[in-house]
Amino acid sequence: MAILDSKVPKGPIKDKWTNYKNKIDLVNPANKRNIDVIVVGTGLAGGSAAATLAEQGYNVKAYCYQDSPRRAHSIAAQGGINASKNYMGDGDSDYRLFYDTVKGGDYRSREANVYRLAEVSGNIIDQCVAQGVPFARDYGGLLDNRSFGGVLVSRTFYAKGQTGQQLLLGAYSAMNRQIARGKIEMFNRHEMLDVVKVDGKARGIITRNLITGDIERHSAHAVVIATGGYGNVYFLSTNAMGSNVTAAWKIHKKGAYFANPCFTQIHPTCIPRSGDYQSKLTLMSESLRNDGRIWVPAKIEDAKAIQEGKLRPTAIAEEDRDYYLERRYPAFGNLVPRDVASRAAKERCDAGYGVNATGEAVYLDFADAFMRYGKEQAKIHGISNPSKEEIIKLGQGIIEEKYGNLFQMYEKIIAENPYETPMMIYPATHYTMGGVWVDYNLMTTVPGLYCLGEANFSDHGANRLGASALMQGLADGYFVLPYTIGDYLSDDIRTGKISTDSKEFDEVEKEVTDRINFFMNNKGTKSVDHFHKRLGKVMWDKVGMARNAPHLKEAMAEIKAIREEFWKDVKVPGDANEMNLELEKAGRVADFLELGELFAKDALDRNESCGGHYRDESVVKEGEQKGEALRNDEDFAYVSAWEYKGEPADAVLHKEELEFKDIELKQRSYK
């Protein structure tokens, strides 16, 4: 089996990045003007990369399928962004952030990448503040922090419950400045449909103009993919409706290895589903677990009564409630990492203790927080002998300040006031740790083809900690790629413009148009959504929160069968030469139908439980940790990088062995 070269520099971990930066090749400012870079995707990773590369002097072409870069799904991130500033003086450091991230990822990430991430995290906050991002501040005018799951310090910076929005608007504003200067050429409502390689190097892309339907060729000296995750393979997820795997999958089919596809995060705090018509699931930020307590009824008869609508949660006495996270994990309580919290909710609901009509919901209760904050506020405002009602009111004011928009969003969807009745939550697919394999430079296995942000696999291992996605996206785009890409582009200063008038472009364009023509001419009988929903159901039932070999084998066969039926029977109405939303969906679902099978194959290969990937076959059999996930470092301390070979089932596995020199491999315990 081939050995993947991660290109991690030698030397002590804390010096690697600095020494590496000092030695890599640079492109001088005059030459940057002669070099073009394509950036696909304009979320935090793509937006920050596009802006920074343009500031440096490269000619950037940026693409997004939305009508504005500002609408990329990074915007929906709520809770916050981590940085090891140690502003709270609670003992935080680069090492601690590094350690927490590697541990949180269940020891399946690459140490050197994670350390670099921690190292640049502070720069991100400085940069964003300089851009005018309005982070939350305390009364002294300094930045406020809160705490997130899986860590013991407060290192999360936030802007109300709209942190992703504010960070994205920061990157977007930096892009706008470069668009105005002509250094970024922005292609809104354009979808990348394939990558073009010339002499083995990525030299361009084929896009479809989503307004006119025109198929266009774009060339550059390097191509950067920052198109987010593939959670929509489950149909229902917290992703945007348009979020898709197409760009990542297309480059996979052109030679980029796809790593750890089965590492998917099922987020514990989402609004439960209500019916079959549901189009997406809505996340309630993890930050709510700072102040909310999660419980289900302790008595099965109470749970039944609630499911039938005969009992209200507020009528259940304190001693009849099971705060199961606090019970099982006293050290971390409600702030255990996401994978642990999700499985614990599933365990209670599977046992019959769920709290809505579907039996798939648990409570997130703020009553204690209202009292705690209320008492503090009463003291601050000098109110003596406040009544319970007054205290609750004051406490609710603080909660509203912190999470007001989330409470409002909940009320609009569920039609219940979460200030009065505990919220109902249930896990939902949220984030994909797996993605395109990249080396230390963020380059894929195709020269000149880079992958950033959620679309790559590198930093979160088998489970991502809260508030780390924003950190990684911006680290990649602002502070990593702009350095590492220079090392590659320094060889291209004499290349000159890449022509789009070549047989390589002809061939790929033909593949793209053939596929579109197929969809338009296929007189099938079923809509694209029909197939997407069926795929999603197989994924959720058999490749969801708990997986086992028989189910995974079934899933592979079933997904293949759905895919074959899709290609025979899918119906795409309308015209290819105009805006056609069904055609857009058809292309994306076709790719999900291939990815889904590889996903199940990867899950089958990894016969261990780690992070978000839980195999029924691999659990602790006895002792204090009985029933908890059992990782197997001896056999599985590697990154699975899959090489495309025609059919997803035929993909060939390459292993990048993971080395842990700076952190001792331990079974995770949050007890």
Partner 1 sequence: MNLTLKIWRQKGPQDKGAMVEYKVNDISEHMSFLEMMDVLNEQLVNSGDEPVAFDHDCREGICGMCSLYINGEAHGPDRGITTCQLHMRMFNDGDTIYIEPWRAAAFPVIKDLVVDRMAMERIQQAGGFVSVNTSGNTQDANAMPISKHDADESMDAAACIGCGACVASCKNSSAMLFVGAKVSQYALLPQGQVEAADRVLNMVHQMDLEGFGNCTNTGACEVECPKGITLVNIARMNREFLKASIKG
Provide the 3-class DSSP secondary structure of residue 432: strand
Minimum CB distance to partner 1 smaller for 277 or for 308: 277
* Minimum distance of partner 1 from residue 415's CB (angstroms): 6
Among 135, 249, 353, 614, binds partner 1 (CB under 8 A): 135
Residue number with CB closer to partner 1 (282 or 548): 282
Q: Contacts with partner 1 in 494-553 (CB under 8 A)?
A: 527, 529
Q: How far apart are CA 576 and CA 584, in angstroms?
A: 10
Using CB under 8 A, pick the residue from 283, 455, 465, 467 that binds partner 1.
283
φ, ψ for residue 642 (rounded to 5)?
-95, 135
β 222-225/215-219 pair status:
unpaired
Q: Which stretch binds partner 1 (CB under 8 A): 278-286, 367-375, 387-395, 428-436?
A: 278-286
Count the residues of the shown chain that bind partner 1, applying the rule CB under 8 A: 80
The half-sphere exposure of 427 on its side-chain side, counting CA atoms within 13 A, is 27
Of 91-99, 236-244, 290-298, 598-606: span binding partner 1 (CB under 8 A): 236-244
In degrees, rounded to 5, the angle at the alpha carbon of residue 528 between the alpha carbons of residues 190 and 554 is: 115
d(CA 557, CA 563): 10
Q: Which of 76, 8, 427, 58 lies closest to 239 in space, CA to CA?
A: 76
Between the alpha carbon of residue 574 and those of residues 72, 193, 523, 579, the distances in Å are 26, 19, 12, 9
> Whose Cβ is closer to partner 1: residue 68's or residue 667's?
68
The first and second tokens of residue 145, run together, are: 């922090």
The amino acid sitting at 181 is: R
- Binding to partner 1 (CB under 8 A): which residues in 139-158? 139-143
Tokens describing residue 241 = 């409706």
Q: Is 338 a catalytic residue?
A: yes
> Hey, which residues does 364 pair with through a beta bridge?
294, 423
DSSP letter at 478 equals I
Span 459-488, contacts to partner 1 by CB under 8 A: 478-479, 482
Listed ranges 166-174, 251-259, 486-494, 622-630: which one lies at the site for partner 1 (CB under 8 A): 166-174
Contact present, 148 and 286 (Cβ < 8 Å)? yes
The whole-angstrom separation of Cα 257 and Cα 602 is 13
Q: Output 573 or 623, the one with its CB closest to partner 1.
A: 573
Element (H, E) at 564: helix 549-569
Binding to partner 1 (CB under 8 A) within 309-348 occurs at: none
Q: Which is nearer to partner 1, 127 or 342 (CB)?
A: 127
Is residue 163 close enough to count as binding partner 1 by CB under 8 A? no
Query: Residues 8, 26, 88, 177: which binds partner 1 (CB under 8 A)?
Result: 177
Among 11, 12, 134, 496, binds partner 1 (CB under 8 A): 134
Give me the least distance between CB of 43 and partner 1, in Å please: 11
Find the binding residues for partner 1 in span 196-225 (CB under 8 A). Answer: 211
Q: Give the residues across from 265 on adjacent strands.
A: 431
- Say if residues 230 and 592 touch (Cβ distance below 8 Å): yes
Contact code string over 644-663 relative to partner 1, x by CB under 8 A? --------------------
Coil, helix or strand for 86?
A: coil
Helical pair 44-56 and 163-181, crossing angle rounded to 10 deg: 30
Under DSSP, the state recorded for 238 is: S
Residue closer to partner 1 (CB basis): 73 or 460: 73
* Beta strand 638-643 pairing with 293-297: unpaired
Residue 640 CB, shortest distance to partner 1, in Å, is 31
Q: Is 126 in the site for partner 1 (CB under 8 A)?
A: yes
Q: Shortest distance, CB of residue 89 to partner 1, whole angstroms?
A: 12
Q: Could you give the CA distance from residue 141 to residue 384 in angstroms, rounded to a whole number?
A: 29
Question: Which strands make up the sheet holding 59-63, listed edge to edge?
Answer: 184-187, 59-63, 36-40, 222-225, 449-451
| Identified binder of partner 1 from the candidate list 31, 93, 209, 282, rule CB under 8 A | 282
- Stretch of 174-182, 496-504, 616-624, 662-670 contacting partner 1, by CB under 8 A: 174-182
Angle between helices 581-605 and 528-542 (to 10 degrees): 20
Q: How far is the CB of 252 from partner 1 (least distance, A)?
A: 24
Q: CB-wise, 104 or 482, nearer to partner 1?
A: 482
Distance CA 182, CA 170 (A): 19
Min. distance of Cβ 72 from partner 1 in angstroms? 8
Q: Which helix (H) or strand (E) holds 350?
A: helix 338-350
The end-to-end CA distance of the chain, in Å, is 39
- Which two structure tokens, joined as six digits, stand for 43? 């979320």
Asked if 385 interacts with partner 1 (CB under 8 A), we say no
Which residues within the stretch 552-581 sit at the binding site for partner 1 (CB under 8 A)?
Answer: 571, 573-574, 578-579, 581
Q: Which is nearer to partner 1, 126 or 564 (CB)?
A: 126
Q: Considering beta carbons, is residue 254 or 280 the nearer one to partner 1?
A: 280
Member of 10, 310, 381, 412 binding partner 1 (CB under 8 A) = 412
Q: Binding of partner 1 at residue 242 (CB under 8 A)?
A: yes
Q: Which stretch binds partner 1 (CB under 8 A): 1-9, 276-284, 286-294, 552-560?
A: 276-284
Report DSSP state, residue 554. Answer: H
Q: Of the residues 289, 338, 563, 668, which is catalytic? A: 338
Q: Which is nearer to partner 1, 184 or 340 (CB)?
A: 184
User: Which helix or strand (DSSP H or E) is residue 129 part of?
Assistant: helix 111-131
Note the maximum CA span of the chain: 82
Question: Nearest distance from residue 56's CB to partner 1, in Å?
Answer: 8
Q: How far is the CB of 144 from partner 1 (least distance, A)?
A: 9
Instruction: Determine which residue in the list 7, 280, 299, 372 makes contact with partner 1, applying CB under 8 A.
Output: 280
Q: Which residues contact 213 (CB under 8 A, 6 or more apart)?
A: 575, 576, 577, 578, 579, 580
Q: Which is nearer to partner 1, 135 or 230 (CB)?
A: 135
Quote the least distance from Cβ 520 to partner 1, whole Å: 12
Please report how close the Cβ of residue 248 comes to partner 1 at its closest, in angstroms. 18
Contacting partner 1 within 37-96 (CB under 8 A): 48, 51-52, 55, 66-68, 70-73, 75-76, 85, 87
We find the least distance from the C-beta atom of residue 120 to partner 1, in angstroms, to be 7
For 341, phi then psi, to 5°, come to: -65, -40
Could you list the active site residues? 338
